[in-house]
Structure 1
């Protein structure tokens, strides 16, 4: 049973994934349960007050009953309270978490195709699903998986190598990176110059066989929901999670 009780975690690892993204790994004393795709609310102290921000779990491994570690990715926002706190956070520092929350999770039974669309750190909940996706592909080689990640340039891609590894398991898995500020002459076959919205029509999305997951910038979510609504998608096969940015 999932619990929403507050627990304290200690920072055990910290690394920059890009100039704008920090990966933070925390450990608790007791097992922490979650379903891949869910998020936690993190409480931290900043300038004498308590702040809270929500972050999706980015753990790469399949959740286990004795898991005590959670990994999160923080997008740095200029002058943001959370950005300043996590940028300065040292190993051994502690935060409080509440959760898990959210329904951006895989269905018990897979549709014919799973489509994941993300901007920036919105790809982290999909990373946490990779172990389960590998298992499902092994069980059903006909399962199609499409992951589309939108960022400004190649240096800001998150976990691209891991998503590309998924494409090595089956011809039915695809990963596409969309760059809004990358030189079009330097792109490979799984990259394009533009936005994730430029790919929607090429997906030929079908509500009878597809399930679409959206996570990232609010503007992207709103635009995507409008598009897929017009294609006949309903909440049951159009899942989304908005990333809200706050400086306070």
Structure 2
């Protein structure tokens, strides 16, 4: 069980590791009873006694990919070859890490008359998974459209789950797009190519006055922000977060 909060945050126990896409792993932890967060927020995880480290140190920020109503705490990351991620992969189940947070302001707006449009690339999906799973569990009437870009279906964390959530939430739509579907061994019937204005226009015909949320690598986030502003979207209606640790 996760321990109570202390000056150093929470001590949480690793309970499961699961490959959720090629090169992407989810890590599940016991959730402390006192810990509360809003979908879209992140935490800092610190390895208490790592066997190796590097210049980046032994603390990393992770968006919480689980929903508040789920029983465990889950984060997910690309398996880059860094000391921190090597250590996280080989830690025995039952090991503890230190967690501080939650932090961050990339949370869903309260006005449910304005739809939310999520634009995610790769592992940038994690905060949006928390949001759309929570919305389904709460039977929220808030309209949501999730655009999700990856190279191939094999590279897309939580792809099947995010598609299936449409059956549980009539106010949620999923639009996946693959930039290299020809390199996939898995059939893909969805959109192809990069997220762009034409793709958004095609799927947002009857979506009025949405607020846009953009998460992914810095280059993608910058390009999409520029695209949205070029489409006369007010800057105040664009919320972004970059994941630099790719």
Q: TM-score normalized by structure 2?
A: 0.82
Structure 2, gaps ≥5 residues long: none
Pair 1:71-2:74 in alignment: yes
2:39·2:67 contact (CA, 8 Å) conserved in 1? no
Work out which of the residue numbers 52, 58, 62 in structure 2 matches 1:55. 62
2:147·2:174 contact (CA, 8 Å) conserved in 1? yes
2:63·2:126 contact (CA, 8 Å) conserved in 1? yes
The answer for the alignment partner of 1:102 in structure 2 is 104
Deviates more, 1:46-55 or 1:119-128: 46-55
Alpha-carbon distance in structure 2 between the residues aligned to 1:27 and 1:56: 16
Report the Cα offset of residue 76 of structure 1.
1.1
Q: After superposition, what is the alpha-carbon deviation per residue over 1:3-38, rounded to whole angstroms, capped at 9, x for unaligned? A: 995222110111111221111011255421111110
Alpha-carbon distance in structure 1 between the residues aligned to 2:169 and 2:29: 33
Alpha-carbon distance in structure 1 between the residues aligned to 2:204 and 2:46: 41
The answer for the alignment partner of 1:244 in structure 2 is 244
The answer for the alignment partner of 2:132 in structure 1 is 130
For these two proteins, the number of residue pairs brought into alignment is 235
Report the Cα offset of residue 233 of structure 1.
3.0
The answer for the alignment partner of 1:90 in structure 2 is 92
The answer for the alignment partner of 1:152 in structure 2 is 151
Alpha-carbon distance in structure 2 between the residues aligned to 1:194 and 1:8: 43
2:229·2:235 contact (CA, 8 Å) conserved in 1? no
Structure 1 residue ranges (4+ consecutive) displaced by more than 6 angstroms after TM superposition? 205-208
Q: 1:180 to 1:225 in 2, by over 3 A?
A: same
Report the Cα offset of residue 241 of structure 1.
1.1
Q: TM-score normalized by structure 1?
A: 0.81
Deviates more, 1:124-133 or 1:35-44: 124-133
Alpha-carbon distance in structure 2 between the residues aligned to 1:15 and 1:135: 22
Report the Cα offset of residue 234 of structure 1.
3.7
Report the Cα offset of residue 73 of structure 1.
0.3
Alpha-carbon distance in structure 2 between the residues aligned to 1:195 and 1:95: 37
